[in-house]
Amino acid sequence: MTRDEIKDKVVRAITDVLSLDSQEEEILRDENYSGGLTKWTSATHAEIIVAVEDAFDIEIDEMRIPGLNNVARIIEYIQQTV
């Protein structure tokens, strides 16, 4: 799976779980700028992680979750794992 494919899948999973509109999805696609997305918070973080796990059929190490704070970090994690 290419990096772009992973990114598309990650963005789709997060867009679905957070019910993002197209503008918010654009913000999400800016890989390092997820912090600008008001719906991506510590309160929704676990839901995001569950959605990504489901999308890639993986189990993310819980200790790594706080560091998975943007799309780029999640892509890196998946590339190392899958």
Partner 1 sequence: MSETQIIPVEIPRQTANDDTMFLLEWLVGDASQVRAGDAICKLESSKAAFEFSAPCDGFLHIISAAGKDLPVGETIAWITSSADRPGQWPSKPTHKQQHAAAAIEGDLKITAKARSLMEKHNIADDAFANLSLVREKDVLEYLQKNPTTAVDGDKLQPHSHLQLQTAKVLTKSFGTIPHSYLSKHVSAASLESAVEKICLKDDILISLSDLLVSTIAGILRDFPKINSTWLDAGLMLHREIALGVALNQNDGTLVVPVIHNADSLSLTEIAGKIRGFQKRSIRNRLTVEDLTGGHFSVTTMIGTGVSQVFPIIYPEQAAILAIGDRWGCDDNEYYTLTLAFDHRILNGAEAGCFLKAVCDRMLQEKK
Enumerate binding residues for partner 1 (CB under 8 A): 40-43, 45-47, 49-50, 53, 61-69
DSSP string, 22-39: HHHHHHHHSTT-GGG-TT
- Least Å from the CB of residue 72 to partner 1: 11
Share of the chain residues as helix, strand and coil, in percent rounded to the nearest 5: 70, 0, 30
- Identity of the residue, 1 or 61, whose beta carbon is nearer to partner 1 in the bound complex: 61
- Identity of the residue, 27 or 65, whose beta carbon is nearer to partner 1 in the bound complex: 65
- Identity of the residue, 8 or 61, whose beta carbon is nearer to partner 1 in the bound complex: 61
Vertex 36 angle, CA 41 and 79, to 5°:
75
